[in-house]
Amino acid sequence: MNDPAPTPIYPPSSEGATSLLATHLRHRIEREGPLPFATFMAEALYHPDWGYYSAPDRIRVGRKGDFITSVSVGSTFGKLLAARLHSFWHTNGSPPAFHLLEPGPESGDLALDILSAAAALDPAFHQALHYHAIEPLEAKALSLQARFANSSEPRLAVLPSAADLHFPFGAVLANEIIDALPVHLLQWHHDQWQERRVTCDAKAFLWTTAPLTIPELRDALPTTPASPPEGYFTEVCLEYTHFLAPLSATLQAGLLLLIDYGHTEADYYAPTRINGTLQTFHQHKATDHPLHDPGSRDLTAHANFTRLAATGRALGLTPTGFTRQERYLTALAEPLLANLDPSSDEFAATIRQFRTLTHPAMLGSSFHMLEFIKAPATPCNKPFQFELRGLELL
């Protein structure tokens, strides 16, 4: 049987190709006026038919994609996170069921890496693990289900949301998803903040500015010790509570681990960061043209870890550690490396992957780990042994 043709994203045109997503966005602008960039970004990334992340057959990650991730480096990342989750499970009495939720699982590689590592690490831990991949985009969910069905993992499910899930104990693992939450753009002009919005003419999408009319955005304006320089651009994400609240509510007790690149608030809104952190990635090249060809490339903005910590506290969570990825993974690596034959190919591959994950010039200093505990779970703080005062940075 022939495979069905992929959903077309460009309609026939005698004047050149205009994507269906671009046409959809133009119609929205015609109806609603200039769009907040958060709306434009949400459509560009998550439109169910034409968004960048909606197509399961698009290659986004790895050498043939647009960017690399810690997961795409190899299985070492999953092995180290499995060790972290195992120690937390053991510290809390090794209960018979440990529910692990991963929003935005992409290809499912991390789920399979963690489960494989758990089986090798401790069969009882592997038996306790129930893995819930949270994927709201239907086409990607079906693709994940098909892949997981071919694995030997019986407790691996794909669900559209965490809204109706309730478990006594477990963990949430949010790996490189905070940076893809839609952001509003701000511009400092004539001693006040204005919002950058998206409009269009007959040929392209264009920037325009507007007064601040969204109450939540006014309440979340950057706090800086002095006025920013004229023309200063930055971002504010209003999605942190919307993202974290349903995930936190799934657990009566447990651990939440957020992994992403980003900054504390003081660094995020430093006077020298005049162009913000918004970038696009296409074929491993970073650009600052986020309005070009929406749906064809990744859009990303750094995480504000200070605001994430404050959001967690407001939800009843307790931040228990914050550090760079290089320090976090180094604290977990010794048992993994000690159990490998130094003369083996597996050892050599693990060392190569570990260096990529932890080297400051690669992924080590770009990514940070922020952990929360939901009481009455007991924290297990070993991964922060090399930065005991990390929370003071927030």
pLDDT score at 184: 98
Question: Would 199 be classed as within a structural domain?
Answer: no
The pLDDT of residue 386: 86
Please give the C-alpha separations between residue 382 and each of 53, 83, 190, 379, in angstroms, as whole numbers: 35, 11, 48, 9
**Is the residue at 283 inside a domain?**
no
CB neighbour list of residue 206: distance below 8 Å, 6 or more residues apart:
198, 199, 200, 291
The strand pairing partners of 36, in sequence order, are: 197
DSSP 63-97: TTSSB--HHHH-THHHHHHHHHHHHHHHHTT--S-
371: containing domain: 70-181+240-264+296-393
Cβ atoms of 391 and 321 closer than 8 Å? yes
For residue 314, how many other CB atoms are within 10 A of its CB? 12
Q: Is 255 helix (H, G, I), strand (E, B) or coil?
A: strand
* Residue 255 and residue 385 in contact, taking contact as beta carbons nearer than 8 Å: no
Report how far residue 178's alpha carbon sits from residue 304's, in angstroms, rounded to the nearest whole number. 9
Give the CATH number for residue 301: 3.40.50.12710
Query: In sequence order, what are the beta bridge partners of 189?
Result: 192
Q: Is 2 a domain residue? A: no
Instruction: Tell me, yes or no, whether 35 lies in a domain.
Output: no
Q: Quote the pLDDT of residue 67.
A: 84
User: CB–CB of 219/239 below 8 Å?
Assistant: no
How far is it, in rounded angstroms, from Cα 196 to Cα 38?
10
Q: Are 262 and 268 in contact (CB under 8 A)?
A: yes
Q: List the one residue out of 247, 239, 259, 244 whose CA is nearest residue 132.
A: 247
Q: Which of 235, 317, 319 is nearest to 269 (CA)?
A: 235
Q: Which helix (H) or strand (E) holds 266?
A: helix 265-268
SS3 224: coil
d(CA 274, CA 244): 29
Can you list the residues of the chain whose pLDDT is less than 50?
A: 1-8, 10-17
18 belongs to a structural domain: no
13 in a structural domain: no
Q: Is residue 305 part of a domain?
A: yes
Res 286: pLDDT = 82
- In angstroms, how far is the first alpha carbon of the chain from the final one? 56
Counting the structural domains of the chain, the total is: 1
SS3 of 105, please?
A: coil
Answer yes or no: is 108 within a domain: yes
